[in-house]
Amino acid sequence: MSARDVAVTGLGLVTPAGVGVAATWQGVLRGTSNAVRCPALDGLPVDFCCRVPDFDADQRLGRRLSWRLDRCAAMALVAAREAVADAGLGAGSWDPVRVGVVLGVGTASMERYEEEFAKISGGRATEISPLAIPRSVPNMVAGEVGMDLRVRGPNLTVSTACASGATALGTARQLLLADACDVVVAGGSESLCSRIPAACFHQMGALSRRGDDPAAASRPFDADRDGFVLGEGAGVLVLERLEHARARGSRIRSYLAGYGASCDAYHFTSPHPEGRGAAEALAVALDDAGLEPGDVAHVNAHGTATVLNDRAEASALRQVFRRPPPVTAVKGALGHAAGGAGAIEAACTVLSLEDQVVPPTANLHRLDPEIELDVVSKAPRPVRMTAAVSNAFGFGGQNAVLVLRSAP
């Protein structure tokens, strides 16, 4: 045990594999892609994505609440409610002033902005919704969760591109270690399954173009990978000061033992080719956790399935571990949920520690020869582990690494 350990007591997930932790984990363990053609993207060069199936915010949250929410916020609320229930917390069981919310988003509400931009360009400015701003500004994702849970501690949204969900968890850990909160509801949420992100990422050359077979498109670390697949989802973890969790007799699912962050300071979209910043964040996270590289038995990789990112991440892992432990990349199954990805993948890392299994990387058929990693594919692999790492990286050279340890 370490005085810097933070308890993970609750998990909540909304992903393209399904709504809820059980559905998501089963889908990830199957190791098959959830990418399908998306009617909202009809006519675009890339018209497929990994979308959360049958997500009806009206049904899950009630029309009175859901009508004002962006899809990103609605998914965050559903995941947060599941996580809080899983932790056995809620009104009457906590001091609301000592409960914080920290959520990560990348672009927030691109879907709603499209609707409002169309009104402006069509000369219908007086038809703009008065809710356009409160639906769309990034801080409202955390704000809505705070209001829904009726908690009054620090309430923050962080944005470090596709590292946002992991950065949120690291920030939440820091609040707990500073004794600013007893509990922090933390994670990330995002939906890229709309026309502006699809068009922009296509123009950047970041998306897979396997429109003839969407389910085979996302191929992390594969020699034939050609880009990521748009995704969406939310991941929320309940984090507690260890003393607080013990005092209330909580089930501790794992420990968030370390956090490291860095900036490549190299390029506005491309990672440092040698993964310099990622390696530095990983080293800081291990030091924060008081662990040596040999203590880590599994890495949940950022694994976007872009040529540059996968090679840079592999380089970073080899620098720190020399012989890296078994690696998985769940974006092969779930697509890329941007600001939500780091939190979703951290939750999957908790589940790997609990079940002592590494999920397979979907669509990995032939490992890129320049990626000297042990990437799990085809089927889940049992692995004895007490510590694991979850990586998240983003535009602007943002790097966030989490170290998680199993609970006894």
Residue 186's identity, in one-letter code, is A
Residue 394, C-beta contacts closer than 8 angstroms, at least 6 positions apart: 106, 160, 161, 162, 163, 164
Per-residue tokens: 135 = 């639906």
CA distance 230 to 278: 23
Instruction: Single out the catalytic residue among 50, 162, 181, 193.
Output: 162
Instruction: Single out the catalytic residue among 244, 272, 298, 336.
Output: 336
Q: By the 8 A CB rule, do 304 and 310 touch? A: yes
Q: What is the DSSP letter of 107?
A: S
Catalytic-residue membership of 200? no
Determine whether 62 is exposed, middle or buried from the number of CB atoms within 10 Å of its CB (0-12, 13-18, 19+): exposed
Residue 295's identity, in one-letter code, is D
First and final C-alpha spacing in the chain: 10
- Measure CA 164 to chain center: 8
CA distances from 70 to 24, 113, 137, 153, 180 (A): 22, 10, 10, 23, 30
SS3 of 139, please? helix
SS3 of 175, please? helix
Whose CA is closest to 275, among 372, 376, 375, 345?
Answer: 372
Instruction: Single out the catalytic residue among 202, 272, 298, 302.
Output: 302
Give the side-chain half-sphere CA count within 13 A for 259: 23
Catalytic-residue membership of 302? yes
Q: By the 8 A CB rule, do 278 and 312 touch? A: yes
**Pairing status of strand 18-19 against strand 299-300:** unpaired
CA dihedral (342, 230, 33, 343) in degrees, to 10, reads 10
Count Cβ atoms below 10 Å from residue 294 Cβ, excluding itself. Answer: 11
Residue count (the chain): 408
CA distance 218 to 337: 13
Catalytic-residue membership of 162? yes
Q: Annotated catalytic sites, by residue?
A: 162, 302, 336
